[in-house]
């Protein structure tokens, strides 16, 4: 494992978590709006 590949993996994981959180929040908001 080189440092560069480790950095790439960390960046990919961060991006996935970031977008996952945004998508989850959007679903949560739309679900709450439908419930009301």
pLDDT in tens, 1-36: 799 999 999 999 999 999 999 999 999 999 888 887
What is the pTM (predicted TM-score) of this model? 0.61
Virtual CA dihedral for 18, 22, 24, 30, nearest 10 degrees? 180
Look at residue 21 in the predicted model and tell me its pLDDT: 98
Look at residue 3 in the predicted model and tell me its pLDDT: 94
* Helix, strand and coil percent figures for the chain, each rounded to 5: 90, 0, 10
Look at residue 34 in the predicted model and tell me its pLDDT: 87
Distance, C-alpha 17 to centroid of its chain: 3
């Amino acid at each position: 494992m080189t440092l560069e590949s480790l950095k790439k993996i960390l960046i990919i994981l961060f991006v996935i978590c970031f977008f996952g959180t945004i998508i989850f929040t959007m679903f949560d908001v739309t679900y709450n709006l439908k419930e009301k």
